[in-house]
A = this chain, B = another copy of it.
């Protein structure tokens, strides 16, 4: 924020200086107007680049990692809403008992869901299912 103010101040000062140069050169001759305009154009061109660069340096740390979930893939795999929930909890490292507790269902239900997930993801183990999900960009982390 402070740097932006400084840059804007410098730009404004540059404008005044260039306006003075333009008036001065206007008195000395007509042909120097094009030169003045060119100088102003170049200065503001790089000012635009500089300011945009600065604004990006501030936005990048705000969004360090934004993993996007490929919802299309989830549909293609015919993963139901509940199955996807179970998959996410599984990927967090929870056991069947823990998943059952956070989703308020029995452990048997979780086992059924996970078996279905495995067949749909073509996985044999939960660790493999997690790896496959990662590659398919299905998980939100």
- Using a CB–CB cutoff of 8 Å, the interface residues on chain A facing chain B are 15, 18-19, 22-23, 26, 30, 33-34, 36-38, 40-53, 56, 90-95, 123-132
Contacts and interface: CB of A to CB of B under 8 A. Distances in A.
Chain A binding surface, main DSSP class: helix
A141 B126 CA distance: 18
B22 A37 contact: yes
Contacts of A56: 56
Contact of A127 (B18, B52, B91): B91
Copies of this protein in the assembly total: 2
B37 A93 contact: no
B93 A127 contact: yes
A12 to B, nearest CB: 11
A37 B25 CA distance: 14
A126 B95 CA distance: 10
A42 B41 contact: no
Given A22-B34, A95-B124, 6 more contacts: A45-B47, A48-B48, A48-B50, A49-B52, A92-B131, A93-B128
